[in-house]
Amino acid sequence: MKKASTTARKAAPKGKTATTKAATKAATKATGKPRTATGKRASPDVLEEAERSAREGARERTEEGHRKAGRTPPAGEAGPTLRSKGATRVAVDESIRDYPAVTEDEKLLALPKEDGRGAPADFTRSDPWRVMRIMGEFIEGFDTLSTVRRGVTIFGSARTGPDDPQYHAAVEVGRLLAEAGFDVITGAGPGIMEAGNRGAREGGGHSVGCNIELPFEQGSNPYVDTLVNFRYFFVRKTMFIKYSVAFIIFPGGFGTLDELFEAVTLIQTGKMYQFPVVLFGRHYWAGLVRWLQTRVLQEGKISPGDLDLMIMTDDPREAVDAVVSAYAAQRQRAEERGASPTAGGSSSAR
């Protein structure tokens, strides 16, 4: 009996594997080649065109956000006469002015270069040398943002204009946070980022912008009090987490989703505690949450409690109240552990 049971257990995975292989073979035969999410046959040329289109789309959305706010996008400024009504320009390293622009992130992530003889490139162009610049950027960020207390980062689309209800909601959230004694942090760009900074200023609070170097000039919105420019995405993301006690996430694209899932992952793995991740706009986020429930959770990729790490609301006051109550819990837990409460939901002294 025991032998038969063992044989059955061994046979089951093989059957499952065979079924999976058959399904994969059938799918490959039906399509001929792997396909993109929109059904195009995948190839280097298709990928290159998709990348070009994605970069252009990101630039267009950013410029649209500035235009909707009545400002001239940085790329459209013809000279000093337009500077006063344009977006705040950000200095860009002249070494990346060629087109397509090469950012420091791209340089870092590229394969190591070799000279004509196959030997490594000069040390000043190598990754160990680049670490010095990265370290300097961390130091600049820590130094500039050291006065931020109880920061809350607001994320969302750069293309959201002042006539959009979500823009007005983000202004209200920023204002309420400022009145409650919180600093407001954003990515410094237009759209929802601008709305959050604007609300902080209207509420008499401190408005912070963490700008990022892109292949095109993004420009910062005019409501930023303290601006820090970053070359590296991972350094910037560290600053968002380190100096925030909560994230409030409005409708946005891949960048917004990136920040959302990074925060949830850090909470899930015990890197932060009592760190509210507020999804603002139930209708926008409903499809994502439904997919997480019906697919990711049902297949055991996450635990039931993981979904409760995210708070959903359409009310600015509810969003701010969630931040206030979570910060109070942070303080209490920090006192119990004999440490000072800090941004990032960590009780370790910085």
What pLDDT was estimated at residue 141? Answer: 95
Encoded tokens for 179: 């009145």
DSSP-assigned letters across all residues of 146-178: TT--SEEEEE--TT--TTSHHHHHHHHHHHHHH
Name the residue among 184, 254, 252 with its Cα closest to residue 221.
Answer: 184
Q: Contact, 221 vs 69, CB < 8 A?
A: yes
Q: Quick one: fold of 138-345?
A: Rossmann fold (3.40.50)
Name the residue among 349, 344, 185 with its Cα closest to residue 271.
Answer: 344
2-16, 311-325, 334-348: segment of lowest average pLDDT:
2-16
Q: Collapsing DSSP states into helix, strand and coil, what is residue 120?
A: strand
Asked if pLDDT for residue 220 goes beyond 80, the answer is: yes
| Residues 80/84/87/93 CA torsion (nearest 10 deg) | 40
Name the residue among 68, 93, 84 with its Cα closest to residue 222.
Answer: 84
The domain ranges of the chain are 138-345
Sheet holding 277-280, edge to edge: 226-230, 207-212, 183-186, 151-155, 244-249, 277-280, 310-313
Name the residue among 194, 191, 195, 189 with its Cα closest to residue 168.
Answer: 195
Enter the pTM of the model.
0.73
pLDDT higher at 205 or 24: 205
Asked if pLDDT for residue 298 goes beyond 90, the answer is: yes
Contacts of residue 7, Cβ cutoff 8 Å, sequence gap at least 6: none
Name the residue among 140, 149, 157 with its Cα closest to residue 244.
Answer: 149
Q: How confident is the model at residue 9 (pLDDT cuts 50, 70, 90)?
A: very low
Kind of pairing, strands 226-230 and 207-212?
Answer: parallel
What integer best gives the mean pLDDT of the chain? 80
